[in-house]
Amino acid sequence: YVLKSTPDSIDYLAWLVQRLERNRRINALVVDDSLSARSYIASLLALQGYQVSHVADGQSALRMVEADPGIRLVIVDQEMPGMDGIELTRRLRHLRARDRMAVIGVSGSSDASLIPRFLKNGANDFLRKPFSREEFFCRVSQNIDQLELIGTLQDLATRDFLTGLPNRRSFLEQSEKVVAQGSGGDLTVAMIDIDHFKHINDSYGHEAGDRALRAMADILHAHTRREDHCGRFGGEEFCVLIHGLDAAASRAHLETLRQAVEALELDIDGRPLRMTISIGASRHSPQFDTLHKLLGEADRHLYLAKAGGRNQVRG
Ligand code: GH3
Ligand code: MG
Ligand code: MG
Ligand code: MG
Ligand code: MG
């Protein structure tokens, strides 16, 4: 396992431990009709810390990947009776995208068309047998590193840094999908704005303001059911899309949220900090049938909630 130039250093050992720990969270699958070949590859992966399973044919592989969302690496032999590796790769891609699961083809054949065919059918990489342990380790690590990097970037692009909630773009994307599906009609969109937040910043300081925003986000997250979406829209504004509750039930849900924020008390260096929120809601209807219209109507009701004295739900 000599991937770094100074294998004796403490840095290297620390890196190695970290790498093994990371790999322990990754499920890998080896698909090869030859028991000795797949056992060998599985043992190499196990040595790197991966949780490895191995199967002898494509059908079993598809069943396993379908059943286990934790599988992020599949090593696929080309020559197998029944379904070959390229066909298996093609079908695996219908189950999980290239940026969620790495597929690496392997073959001992010298057929020059194999590599492009594997890649065109969705493989992330290819290894020609026989390969050295070093090459195997490097290829696998590089492919997993790439998946992790993409995951990190996706997280940065969709999550609000301060609160950890979905950001505005992510909320809009998710909600747009729900509205487009037009599923059942029972949809409520709500805009939530912290009352006199500028005053909180002014009298407690910006850091306390940030803490208040995180606390608000935690409450909102806790009140967001699995079928709903929430997000930080910007500044001290949040939003939620409630799916599958009728008008009265979604109204009651938002009222509970308002009360939960009102009941919260933060301790800022011994000084209690409390806040309230105003909520404007809108319901999906023939008149408000796009996310844009729903948000506009929710915003109009938010304005009424502010004008009506704040700390209330309107719409
Ligand atoms: P209203 O009740 O009318 O909503 O009054 P308000 O003071 O809450 O509204 P206003 O829009 O005037 O002020 C919002 C403040 O939120 C201003 C801005 O400095 C603060 N803010 C926006 N983003 C952040 C942030 O990330 N952290 C902190 N601490 N403050 C923020
Ligand atoms: Mg074979
Ligand atoms: Mg505001
Ligand atoms: Mg405000
Ligand atoms: Mg304002």
pLDDT at position 4, please?
53
User: Above 80 in pLDDT, residue 182?
Assistant: no
Ligand 1 binding residues, C-beta < 6 A: 162, 193-198, 201, 206, 209-210, 213, 235-236, 306, 310
Beta-carbon neighbour count of residue 100 at 10 Å? Answer: 14
List the end-to-end C-alpha distance of the chain, in Å, as a whole number: 62
Task: Report yes or no: 179 and 284 within 8 Å, Cβ to Cβ.
Answer: yes
pLDDT at position 234, please?
95
Query: Each residue of 200-236: pLDDT tens digit?
Result: 999 999 999 999 999 999 999 999 999 999 999 999 9
Q: Which residues contact 268 (CB under 8 A, 6 or more apart)?
A: 204, 205, 208, 211
Q: How far is the CA of 293 from the centre of ligand 4 (A)?
A: 22
User: Above 50 in pLDDT, residue 157?
Assistant: yes
- The minimum-distance atom of ligand 1 relative to the CA of 201 is 29
Query: Each residue of 82-103: pLDDT tens digit?
Result: 999 999 999 999 999 999 999 9
Work out the pLDDT band at 8, boundaries 50, 70, 90. low
> Average pLDDT, stretch 163-187?
91
pLDDT at position 139, please?
96
Query: Each residue of 229-257: pLDDT tens digit?
Result: 999 999 999 999 999 999 999 999 999 99
Ligand 1 pocket test target in 191, 198, 276 with most atoms within 8 Å of CB: 198
Which pair of structure tokens corresponds to residue 47? 């040595």
Read off the DSSP letter of residue 287: S
User: Above 70 in pLDDT, residue 166?
Assistant: yes
Q: What's the half-sphere exposure (Cβ side, CA atoms, 13 Å) at 113?
A: 1
Query: Each residue of 20-66: pLDDT tens digit?
Result: 999 999 999 999 999 999 999 999 999 999 999 999 999 999 999 99
Which pair of structure tokens corresponds to residue 110? 């010298």
ipTM: 0.95
Which pair of structure tokens corresponds to residue 306? 């502010």
Mean pLDDT, the chain, rounded, equals 95
Marked catalytic residue, from 173, 207, 236, 237: 236
Which residue is it, tokens 């069943």? 63
Cis peptide bond N-terminal to 272, omega within 30: no
Q: Which residues contact 143 (CB under 8 A, 6 or more apart)?
A: 73, 102, 104, 124, 125
CA distances from 118 to 92, 109, 273, 291 (A): 12, 13, 60, 41
User: Above 60 in pLDDT, residue 179?
Assistant: yes
Work out the pLDDT band at 183, boundaries 50, 70, 90. low
Task: Report yes or no: 37 and 67 within 8 Å, Cβ to Cβ.
Answer: no
Percentage of residues in the chain having pLDDT higher than 90: 92
Indicate which residue's Cα is closest to atom 19 of ligand 1: 198
pLDDT at position 1, please?
47
Indicate the SS3 state at residue 195: coil
User: Above 60 in pLDDT, residue 155?
Assistant: yes
127 forms beta bridges with: 106
Work out the pLDDT band at 7, boundaries 50, 70, 90. low
Give the C-alpha separation, 81 to 101, whole Å: 24
Specify burial of residue 128 (Cβ count, 10 A radius: 0-12, 13-18, 19+).
middle
Query: Each residue of 141-154: pLDDT tens digit?
Result: 999 999 999 999 99
Instruction: Say whether 66 is catalytic.
Output: no
pLDDT at position 44, please?
96
